[in-house]
Amino acid sequence: MASRGLRLTGPRQAVVDVLVEQATPLSVAEIRDHLKGRRANLVSIYRAVNLLCGLGLFRVVDTAKGKQRFELAEQFTGHHHHLVCEVCGSVEDLDGCLLEDDALNAIRQRVRRLRNFRLTGHDLKLVGVCRQCDAG
Protein backbone atom coordinates (compact mmCIF):
# COMPACT_ATOMS: atom_id res chain seq x y z
CA MET A 1 0.00 0.00 0.00
CA ALA A 2 2.82 2.38 0.87
CA SER A 3 4.34 1.95 -2.61
CA ARG A 4 1.07 3.29 -4.03
CA GLY A 5 0.96 6.23 -1.66
CA LEU A 6 -1.74 4.70 0.55
CA ARG A 7 -1.72 4.46 4.31
CA LEU A 8 -2.65 1.39 6.30
CA THR A 9 -5.26 3.09 8.46
CA GLY A 10 -6.79 1.56 11.58
CA PRO A 11 -10.01 0.44 9.83
CA ARG A 12 -8.05 -1.03 6.91
CA GLN A 13 -5.77 -2.94 9.26
CA ALA A 14 -8.78 -4.16 11.26
CA VAL A 15 -10.48 -5.50 8.11
CA VAL A 16 -7.28 -7.25 7.02
CA ASP A 17 -6.88 -8.75 10.52
CA VAL A 18 -10.41 -10.18 10.45
CA LEU A 19 -9.92 -11.91 7.09
CA VAL A 20 -6.53 -13.25 8.19
CA GLU A 21 -8.03 -14.65 11.41
CA GLN A 22 -11.10 -16.25 9.80
CA ALA A 23 -10.97 -19.46 7.79
CA THR A 24 -13.92 -18.61 5.54
CA PRO A 25 -14.95 -15.80 3.20
CA LEU A 26 -16.99 -13.10 4.97
CA SER A 27 -19.58 -10.52 3.95
CA VAL A 28 -19.15 -6.89 4.97
CA ALA A 29 -21.81 -7.40 7.67
CA GLU A 30 -19.90 -10.42 9.01
CA ILE A 31 -16.66 -8.43 9.02
CA ARG A 32 -18.45 -5.69 10.97
CA ASP A 33 -19.71 -8.30 13.48
CA HIS A 34 -16.13 -9.46 14.05
CA LEU A 35 -15.04 -5.86 14.59
CA LYS A 36 -17.47 -5.10 17.42
CA GLY A 37 -15.67 -3.00 20.00
CA ARG A 38 -13.10 -1.71 17.50
CA ARG A 39 -13.15 1.67 15.83
CA ALA A 40 -14.51 0.85 12.38
CA ASN A 41 -17.91 1.93 11.06
CA LEU A 42 -19.74 0.27 8.18
CA VAL A 43 -18.74 2.94 5.64
CA SER A 44 -15.07 2.54 6.57
CA ILE A 45 -15.36 -1.24 6.20
CA TYR A 46 -16.94 -0.92 2.74
CA ARG A 47 -14.24 1.53 1.68
CA ALA A 48 -11.47 -0.69 3.02
CA VAL A 49 -12.85 -3.80 1.33
CA ASN A 50 -13.30 -2.01 -2.01
CA LEU A 51 -9.79 -0.56 -1.83
CA LEU A 52 -8.20 -3.88 -0.89
CA CYS A 53 -10.06 -5.65 -3.71
CA GLY A 54 -8.90 -2.98 -6.13
CA LEU A 55 -5.32 -3.48 -4.98
CA GLY A 56 -5.64 -7.25 -5.54
CA LEU A 57 -5.18 -8.08 -1.86
CA PHE A 58 -8.77 -9.34 -1.41
CA ARG A 59 -11.02 -11.13 -3.84
CA VAL A 60 -14.78 -11.34 -4.14
CA VAL A 61 -16.53 -14.66 -3.59
CA ASP A 62 -20.17 -14.71 -4.70
CA THR A 63 -22.55 -17.06 -2.94
CA ALA A 64 -25.65 -18.89 -4.15
CA LYS A 65 -27.81 -16.26 -2.41
CA GLY A 66 -26.13 -13.44 -4.34
CA LYS A 67 -24.38 -12.03 -1.27
CA GLN A 68 -20.80 -10.98 -1.85
CA ARG A 69 -18.21 -12.32 0.50
CA PHE A 70 -14.54 -11.48 0.57
CA GLU A 71 -11.35 -13.36 1.28
CA LEU A 72 -7.63 -12.83 1.00
CA ALA A 73 -6.33 -13.10 -2.56
CA GLU A 74 -4.90 -16.44 -3.69
CA GLN A 75 -1.35 -15.11 -3.42
CA PHE A 76 -1.87 -15.35 0.36
CA THR A 77 -4.16 -18.39 0.63
CA GLY A 78 -3.15 -20.56 -2.31
CA HIS A 79 -5.43 -21.68 -5.10
CA HIS A 80 -8.66 -23.23 -3.84
CA HIS A 81 -12.35 -23.62 -4.60
CA HIS A 82 -15.56 -23.20 -2.60
CA LEU A 83 -18.58 -25.16 -1.43
CA VAL A 84 -21.64 -22.88 -1.27
CA CYS A 85 -24.85 -23.79 0.53
CA GLU A 86 -27.90 -22.84 -1.53
CA VAL A 87 -30.06 -22.80 1.61
CA CYS A 88 -28.13 -20.60 4.07
CA GLY A 89 -25.50 -19.12 1.73
CA SER A 90 -22.52 -20.29 3.79
CA VAL A 91 -19.21 -20.67 1.99
CA GLU A 92 -16.58 -23.27 2.82
CA ASP A 93 -13.09 -23.44 1.34
CA LEU A 94 -11.86 -26.55 -0.43
CA ASP A 95 -8.08 -26.74 -0.25
CA GLY A 96 -6.26 -27.03 -3.53
CA CYS A 97 -7.64 -27.51 -7.01
CA LEU A 98 -10.19 -30.21 -7.79
CA LEU A 99 -9.48 -30.15 -11.50
CA GLU A 100 -6.91 -32.62 -12.74
CA ASP A 101 -4.38 -31.25 -15.22
CA ASP A 102 -5.84 -33.32 -18.07
CA ALA A 103 -9.39 -32.07 -17.37
CA LEU A 104 -8.25 -28.45 -17.07
CA ASN A 105 -6.24 -28.70 -20.30
CA ALA A 106 -9.27 -30.19 -22.08
CA ILE A 107 -11.41 -27.28 -20.85
CA ARG A 108 -8.77 -24.76 -21.99
CA GLN A 109 -8.60 -26.34 -25.46
CA ARG A 110 -12.37 -26.54 -25.85
CA VAL A 111 -12.95 -22.94 -24.76
CA ARG A 112 -10.16 -21.79 -27.08
CA ARG A 113 -11.64 -23.74 -30.00
CA LEU A 114 -15.31 -22.81 -29.38
CA ARG A 115 -14.90 -19.18 -28.32
CA ASN A 116 -11.36 -18.22 -29.33
CA PHE A 117 -10.82 -17.33 -25.68
CA ARG A 118 -7.59 -18.04 -23.83
CA LEU A 119 -8.11 -19.04 -20.20
CA THR A 120 -5.70 -17.58 -17.68
CA GLY A 121 -7.32 -18.92 -14.52
CA HIS A 122 -10.44 -20.42 -13.06
CA ASP A 123 -12.68 -20.25 -10.02
CA LEU A 124 -14.81 -23.27 -9.21
CA LYS A 125 -17.89 -22.95 -7.02
CA LEU A 126 -19.78 -26.10 -6.08
CA VAL A 127 -23.35 -25.44 -4.94
CA GLY A 128 -25.35 -27.76 -2.70
CA VAL A 129 -26.65 -28.09 0.85
CA CYS A 130 -24.34 -27.81 3.85
CA ARG A 131 -24.25 -30.29 6.71
CA GLN A 132 -26.29 -28.06 9.06
CA CYS A 133 -29.05 -27.33 6.53
CA ASP A 134 -29.16 -30.96 5.33
CA ALA A 135 -29.70 -32.20 8.89
CA GLY A 136 -32.64 -29.84 9.53
What is the pLDDT at residue 11? Answer: 86
**Amino acid letter for position 117:** F
Q: What domains lie within the chain, and their CATH numbers?
A: 2-135 (1.10.10.10)
pTM: 0.81
Query: Which residue spans within the chain are E strands per DSSP?
Result: 58-62, 68-72, 80-85, 91-95, 125-128
Cα 97 to Cα 102: distance, rounded to the nearest angstrom: 13
Cα 75 to Cα 55: distance, rounded to the nearest angstrom: 12
Taking only the tens of pLDDT, the chain with its 136 residues reads 777 888 888 889 999 999 999 978 999 999 999 998 777 788 989 999 999 999 999 999 877 677 889 999 999 999 999 999 999 888 888 888 988 899 999 999 999 999 999 999 998 999 999 999 999 6
